[in-house]
Amino acid sequence: MRPSERPDGAPAPHDAVSAAITPSALAPRLSGGAVFVLVFLPFALGHFLSSLMRTVNATLAPQLVAALQLTPGQLGLLTSAFFFAFALVQLPVGMALDRWGPARVQLPMLLLAGIGALAFAGGQNFTQLLVARAVIGVGLGGCFMSAVKAISTWIAPARLPSVQGYLIAVGGLGAASATLPVRLALHYMDWRGLFLWLAAAAMATGLLIRLLAPAQPSAPRAPLPMLAAMREVYRHPAFREAAALVLVPHTVFFGVQGLWIGRWLSDVARFNEQAVAYLLYLGMASIIFGAIAVGMVTEWAGRYGVRPISVAAAGVALFIAVQIGFVCDWAPSYQLLSVLFTLVGTVTGIEYAIVAQSLPGALTGRAATCLNLLIFLGAFAVQAGFGLVVGCWRPNAQQQYPALAYQAAFGALVLLQLPGLIWFLRRRARAPAQSGKMDLPSEPPLTTR
Q: What is the 3-state secondary structure (H, E, C) of the chain?
A: CCCCECCCCCECHHHHHHHHCCHHHHCCCCCHHHHHHHHHHHHHHHHHHHHHHHHHHHHHHHHHHHHHCCCHHHHHHHHHHHHHHHHHCHHHHHHHHHHHCHHHHHHHHHHHHHHHHHHHHHCCCHHHHHHHHHHHHHHCCCHHHHHHHHHHHHCCHHHHHHHHHHHHHHHHHHHHHCCHHHHHHCCCCCHHHHHHHHHHHHHHHHHHHHHHCCCCCCCCCCCCCHHHHHHHHHHCHHHHHHHHHHHHHHHHHHHHHCCHHHHHHHHCCCCCHHHHHHHHHHHHHHHHHHHHHHHHHHHHHHHCCCCHHHHHHHHHHHHHHHHHHHHCCCHHHHHHHHHHHHHHHHHHHHHHHHHHHHCCHHHHHHHHHHHHHHHHHHHHHHHHHHHHHHCCCCCCCCCCCCHHHHHHHHHHHHHHHHHHHHHHHHHHHHCCCCCCCCCCCCCCCCCCC
pLDDT for the residue numbered 358: 73
pLDDT for the residue numbered 224: 60
Q: Compute the distance between CA of residue 256 and CA of residue 444 in angstroms, rounded to an integer.
A: 41
pLDDT for the residue numbered 24: 47
Domains defined along the chain, listed by start: 31-215+222-430 (1.20.1250.20)
What tens-digit pLDDT sequence spans the chain (449 residues)? 444 444 444 444 333 333 333 444 444 566 667 777 788 889 999 999 999 999 898 889 888 888 888 888 888 899 889 989 988 888 888 778 878 888 889 999 999 999 999 999 998 888 999 999 999 999 999 898 888 888 877 777 667 667 777 888 888 889 889 988 999 999 999 999 999 999 999 999 999 999 988 876 655 555 566 677 778 788 888 888 888 999 999 999 988 987 899 899 999 999 988 898 899 889 888 888 888 888 888 888 888 888 888 999 999 999 999 999 999 988 768 899 999 999 999 999 888 778 777 777 666 667 777 888 889 899 989 999 999 999 999 988 888 899 999 999 999 999 999 999 999 999 888 875 544 444 434 334 444 33
CB 354 within 8 A of CB 245: no
* pTM tops 0.75: no
pLDDT for the residue numbered 313: 93
Torsion of CA 251, 252, 256, 258, to 10 degrees: -30
Total residue length of the chain: 449
pLDDT for the residue numbered 11: 42
pLDDT for the residue numbered 411: 96
